[in-house]
A and B are shown apart, each in its own frame.
Chain A
Amino acid sequence: MNSPAAIEVRDVRQEFRVSGGMFAAARHVVAVDGVSFSVPAGRVLGIVGESGCGKSTLARLILGLLAPTSGDALVYGQRLAALDRKARARLIQPVFQDPFSSLNPRQTIQEIVSLPLVAQGSFEAPEITRLTNEILDRVGIARAMATRLPAELSGGQRQRVAIARALIIKPKVVVCDEPTSALDVSVQAQILNLLAELRREFNLTYIFISHNLAVIEHVASTVAVMYLGRIVEMNETDVLFRSPRHPYTRALLDSVLTPEPDLGIPDVGLGDAVPDPSRIPAGCRFHPRCRMAVERCQREPPKPDLAAPDEMVECHLANQDNPFQLVGGQYAQG
């Protein structure tokens, strides 16, 4: 791989200080804890993980909305921290989860979509209008809607507007943070299809965050599984789904309920311990919930095991032969 990676994240760490309420000391939440990966241009990196594991925080770091506590994020070889907002905007754009809070309720669709161009300050008004109309056509929003306010649009339409805003400036990378989880399934399919088309058309690189494994499998070329602020496993989508190596990935895959009657409900076996980013367990951070955990897991945090540039797992037991007692086994069976 000679071309520079579209995105390269090096050992980023993000801490938040949250006041612990009135009577407790402030706590440090480690939302992202030493994450590294790189995404070659034109690929889609899917990130999965349960709620609160740091997916959105990672997205915000990559977008430059947060300055990492340590580490560095690069887009096409440029350090985000060194770029100004305008330059950053030309490189990378977001699509957020909630189509209701991601559009300014006091601006018309036209204003919202053209914002990245206007903010650049180097575009003439007629050109802005032309480009806005073009992109609205492309995402399937009628031009007549351009003068409306977001409140008059449905959720799917709003998400289309958000996509139009992200793409109008022709960025190289788009970060989609759960772009469909607030939408109905029928609309979700529309948006996923649109995103796929646009990626091909504009030759984009995506970071695609979701907690829906089925969606991730559908869109991503590489998948990273996050747990409590770290990527615990990362691999080519097909490989990961076929032969997961981390027990947490395993559990995630097991709990997916496919629309197949008579399979019953799998026993995921994770117990009721709650991952808390302000109290990260010593040793392997997954060990309190891991049914495979051995004594070593409580002591020693596993080192990332890098088989290939985009193949990684972080588990003491990953390289032992057939380490897991496979349960349910819907994927392993093929």
Chain B
Amino acid sequence: MVRFILRRAALGLLVALTVMTLAFMLTRLSGDLAISIAGPGATQEDIEIIRKAYGLDQPLYIQFASWISRALVGDLGNSYFFKDSVSNLIAARMPITMTLGLVGLGLALLVSIPLGTLAAMREGTWVDRAVTVVTMIGQATPSFWFGLILMITFGLTLGWLPISGTGSWQHFVMPGIVLAMTATPALTRLTRSGMIEAIASDYIRTARAKGLTRRSIIFKHALRNAAIPVVSIAAVQLGFMLGGSIVVETVFALHGVGFLAWESIAKNDFPVVQAVVLVLATIYICLTMLSDILNALLDPRIRST
């Protein structure tokens, strides 16, 4: 166990380092950062001063090394635009994104597990086909578009839910639904195929031969096995959701990390962009690790080899 976690942590660190390098290179794509920090109307002298002040006059590898070494101890630098430390910024906004991600994931699981189970139990019937079509609709709907439609319907026409911002739990309903929609198709399909596989399996036949009730066969024997991959993938999905929350946060004006990233890109505020990429990657890495552990805990075959 310890060994496994150490190995995974080492791999995670390696991945994080690679992502860091990529992120660093990415933000240097655009060339001279001093100019964008200086802002409109700055003179050549201002720019030179800024270049010195931010250490941008040093060779690239030195900048990179210093960034990495500081990032490793948790110092992600300062935002040029927000005039605040990046760590503070991200820490202040992470709760919103996390809430959003968890709400989205919760909703997605709440929808996809029953839906997938239903489809699998009625495999080949119109119910199954309807579920398939629904998942495909979910897959084909651009999330920003869906967000706008929800906003018009529930925010404007019906006036049930607040449209943007983060004041209360109601504020997370629509964004959560939109985010859930991005994960639901995959999770539904996974549940469905897992359930179909489970239902067709020998151990279900055994259970039937034992004369168990239908409910116990489906819920105790089949769903338990079908849910293992779903639950463990859910952690990974959460990682994807956090990465994909930019759109939702922009549409619903949630000032979370995704939105922060988007703002920073627009403002060329590269320390923030770098840091967000890094933080999201790190979260993803941790989540995959969590997912593996979860998988192992749920699946006795992995747990006790």
Contacts and interface: CB of A to CB of B under 8 A. Distances in A.
A255 to B, nearest CB: 25
A259 interface: no
Interface string A12-30: 0000000011111100000
Nearest to A19: B305
Interface in A22-63: 22-25
Contacts of B251: none
Interface bin, chain A: under 10
Interface of B: 1, 3-4, 292-293, 295-296, 301-303, 305
B305 to A, nearest CB: 3
20 contacts: A20-B305, A21-B296, A21-B301, A21-B302, A21-B305, A22-B4, A22-B292, A22-B293, A22-B295, A22-B296, A22-B302, A22-B305, A23-B1, A23-B4, A23-B296, A23-B302, A23-B303, A23-B305, A24-B305, A25-B3
Task: Please list the 10 inter-chain residue pairs (A to B) with the smallest Cβ-Cβ separation, ordered nearest first.
Answer: A21-B305, A23-B1, A22-B296, A21-B302, A22-B302, A22-B4, A24-B305, A20-B305, A23-B4, A22-B292
Nearest to A24: B305
A21 B296 CA distance: 9
Interface residue SS majority, chain B: helix
Pick the most buried of B1, B293, B301, B305: most chain A CB atoms within 10 A of its CB.
Answer: B305
B7 to A, nearest CB: 10
A251 to B, nearest CB: 29
Given A21-B296, A21-B305, 8 more contacts: A21-B301, A21-B302, A22-B4, A22-B292, A22-B305, A23-B4, A23-B303, A24-B305
Nearest to B3: A25
A283 to B, nearest CB: 26
B6 to A, nearest CB: 12
A20 B301 CA distance: 11
A24 B292 CA distance: 14
Nearest to A23: B1
A24 B301 CA distance: 12
Contacts of B4: 22-23
B300 to A, nearest CB: 11
Contacts of B292: 22
A29 to B, nearest CB: 13
B158 to A, nearest CB: 49
Contacts of B3: 25
B28 to A, nearest CB: 39
A23 B300 CA distance: 12
Interface in A209-243: none
Contacts of A23: 1, 4, 296, 302-303, 305
Contacts of A25: 3
A148 B4 CA distance: 49
Contacts of B296: 21-23
